[in-house]
């Protein structure tokens, strides 16, 4: 299975979770997803608190190439899937 296929499968697994993971895990997944799809953060830091958390998480992944971010996303999903499905 290609990395792209594994990534798509992991994205679907997240949508299929029956329990909500903690905010820290969701922010990590958000940041990896954005890095995998868009690369380094490319928007100015927002003003509202929730958006700032997401922006900070994504900004923390700066410099990670898209394939490495996809693999990290897959690994994260695999590590928590048993707890939330």
Domain that holds residue 39: 3-84
CATH number where 23 lies? 1.20.80.10
Cβ pair 75, 8 in contact under 8 A:
no
> How many Å apart are CA 84 and CA 66, to the nearest integer?
26
Q: Tell me: the pLDDT tens digits for 7-64?
A: 999 999 999 999 999 999 999 999 999 999 999 999 999 999 999 999 999 999 999 9
Band of pLDDT at residue 78, cut at 50, 70 and 90: very high
Phi then psi for residue 26, to 5 deg, are: -65, -40
Distance CA 39, CA 77 (A): 20
Helix axes 3-16, 66-84, angle to 10 degrees: 40
pLDDT given at position 5: 98
């Amino acid at each position: 299975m290609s990395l792209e296929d594994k990534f798509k499968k992991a994205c679907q697994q997240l949508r299929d979770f029956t329990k909500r993971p903690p905010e820290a895990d969701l922010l990590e997944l958000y940041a990896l997803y954005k890095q995998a799809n868009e690369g380094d953060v490319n928007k100015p830091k927002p003003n509202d608190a929730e958006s700032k958390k997401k922006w900070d998480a994504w900004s923390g992944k700066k410099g990670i190439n898209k394939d490495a971010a996809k693999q990290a996303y897959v690994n994260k999903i695999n590590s928590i899937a048993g707890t939330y499905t």
